[in-house]
Structure 1
Amino acid sequence: MGNNASAPAPVAPIPDKNVTSQNSAALPSPPVPPVALAVPAETPKPTEIIPVMPEVKPALPNNPGTYEELHKACKEIFPMPFEGGRLVIGKGVSSHFQINHTLTLSNPMVSGYRFGATYVGSKQFSPQESYPVLLGDIDASGNLNANIIHAFSRNIFTRCVAQFQGEKSNTQMVTDYKGSSFTASLTVANPDLLNGSGLAVGQYLQRITPSLDIGTECMYQKGGHIPGGQVAVMSMSARLKGEKWQGVGTVCPAGPGGGSLHTSYSHRINDTLQIGAEFETSIGMGESTATVGYQLEVPQVGVNFKGQVDSNWTIAATMDKKLLESQIPLTVSFSAIGSQVKSDYKFGIGMNIG
């Protein structure tokens, strides 16, 4: 019975806490698996909407402009000198209305004070064009100049000019029709239906290629002060232009003073410098004049300098300086013109506020 009796199961010793802790310290602890922490999802920020301005394209990109502006690019390079002192103060009354005061101190013919006003309507074909435009000024003697410019559509433009000086008055109306590749203009000046007098000018300019424009002009004038009672003159023009230059030629085969020739050339050298040359001759009168000039514009310092010299040895220059650090828009102008042959020199200084 003793041999068949089962031996009692061994009792596992109760581990000593101190010994267990010592052994645990001595043995390396098993690696702890990384625990993924629950990160709260970020609230998505609202997408910033950046407004995209539509590209402003000209209404008639292939239109050559008007006939009378063929030589404008060269004319704008030359300075417009003035004499004496000039002060211009402009004030914007609203977004559509502006007034200005002009005080000129020079020879008695042009000295004095003039009050002017400009109104710009709300009819827009582009951000740079608003119609109608009304301009006018009057001096202390009551002499009045008025201009009205309006666009009835993208193709039809009208300009009305009126001048009243004492008992004399001059009126003129110009209508331009701009097509996709041409411009037709009609000008009527001082019409007098009772006496059968007046002036009419018809102009047409056609774009042949992207670099070539040709046009013609016909002028007809009738009145009692004209030899023969009436006269008609016709001229032809052509403009050839590149990316930074253009050349224009106008020929008048016959006229009251004989034939004439007018050519001009303008070239933009870089962003700040332009040069221009002009030649005018009258075959009937036997007179010719050549002019060269340049324009230097530095927007960073607010300086615009223009200079020219012609074949009569007349030198002219103007400089406009914008005071960029000024609290109000302020421009100071300096002018000088002199002729060594005539020993005649004139100087001017002006200020434009507003």
Structure 2
Amino acid sequence: MGNVLGPAAPRAPRRGEPLGSPGSFDELHRQCKEVFPQQMEGVKLIVTKTLSSHFQVTHTVHMSTLGPSSYHFNATFVGDRQLGPTEAFPTLVGDMDNSGSLNAQVLHLVAERIRTKAVFQTHQAKFVTWQFDSEYRGDDCTATITLGNPDLLGESALKWVATLNVGYGGAHASYYHRANEQVQVGVELEANTRLQDTTFAFGYQLNLPQANMVFRGLLDSNWSVGGVLEKKLPPLPVTLALGAFLNHWKNRFHCGFSVIVG
């Protein structure tokens, strides 16, 4: 006798993988901004010293040819509660320059999903600004309330991050994409309603781990092009950086060289 097979049961529709949390709202723009090279001018020396597993200090000396030279002292304290490779609470960061100006940040974990941040800034002996943030970290979303600079919309994925901030003074949008382990790109658009000005910038980053080198390039709507090349010198804790920037519209060119120890 043969076997008789009944009709197969219909398969349930496949569901996509659940979205993960996009992380801190401040980190959404950070990935895009890190792709862009920082302009270099003059000579800069950075020395970092780790005093303990919780405390680190950094000395920065910048000798400029366009403006006054400066010295910055930065101190960072990190608490015992570690939630990730880049998250520990409480965290206190302070940066003071030779003129007495201070930038300070305090990050604290109120509950498992609620993080708070306070930012204070002074210019010489005068108090300039302050800002308080409260952030709720969900399973697949992040909600942030900022006193002084509202952030309205943020969305992220695994290999790309798209963000939009809207405030009274205008709007700021950015897009970050990680093509692979070596190539990252970022696009940034900022509109200022007070100055009636809109700027656009494109940046890219090339990682060459075998050569211990990182290159960042920039092209913006102000006809500026530039790049910064960083070269590590293992086993020494030294990084050399060389940068050059050219503005075609203003016919301006400047370059810089820095040594980073630590």
1:307 to 200, 217, 232: 217
Q: Are 1:131 and 2:89 counterparts?
A: yes
Verify the 8 A CA contact 2:35 2:216 in the aligned structure 1: yes
Report the CA distance between 1:101 and its aligned residue.
1.2
2:184 to 260, 274, 278: 274
Report the CA distance between 1:90 and its aligned residue.
1.1
Q: Which has the higher contact order (CA 8 A, sep 6+)?
A: 2
Q: 1:145 and 1:268, CA in 2 relative to 1: closer, same or farther beyond 3 A? A: closer
Give distance in 2, aligned partners of 1:80 and 1:92: 25
Give distance in 2, aligned partners of 1:343 and 1:290: 19
Give distance in 2, aligned partners of 1:248 and 1:105: 36
In structure 2, the gaps of 5 or more residues are 1-18
Give distance in 1, aligned partners of 2:171 and 2:98: 41
Equivalent position of 1:335 in the other structure: 243
1:83 to 27, 35, 41: 41
Give distance in 2, aligned partners of 1:163 and 1:284: 23
Give distance in 2, aligned partners of 1:112 and 1:135: 19
Number of aligned positions between the proteins:
244
Give distance in 2, aligned partners of 1:333 and 1:288: 30
Q: 1:264 and 1:91, CA in 2 relative to 1: closer, same or farther beyond 3 A? A: closer
Report the CA distance between 1:147 and its aligned residue.
1.6
SS at match of 1:74: helix
Please give the TM-score of this superposition, normalised by the length of structure 1. Answer: 0.61
Equivalent position of 2:146 in the other structure: 187
Identity of aligned residues (%): 37
Please give the TM-score of this superposition, normalised by the length of structure 2. Answer: 0.80
1:120 to 78, 81, 98: 78
Report the CA distance between 1:306 and its aligned residue.
0.3
Q: 1:177 and 1:240, CA in 2 relative to 1: closer, same or farther beyond 3 A? A: closer
- Aligned-residue CA RMSD in angstroms? 2.8
SS at match of 1:104: strand
SS at match of 1:136: strand
Equivalent position of 1:228 in the other structure: none
Q: Are 1:317 and 2:232 counterparts?
A: no
Structure ranking higher in strand proportion: 2
**Correspondence 1:85-100 to 2 at 5 A:** 85-100=43-58
In structure 1, the gaps of 5 or more residues are 1-60, 189-199, 204-215, 217-236
Give distance in 2, aligned partners of 1:350 and 1:265: 29
Give distance in 1, aligned partners of 2:138 and 2:154: 18
- Choose 307-316 or 134-143, whichever is displaced more: 134-143
SS at match of 2:211: coil
2:245 counterpart letter in structure 1: I
2:159 counterpart letter in structure 1: K
1:159 to 103, 111, 117: 117
Equivalent position of 2:257 in the other structure: 349
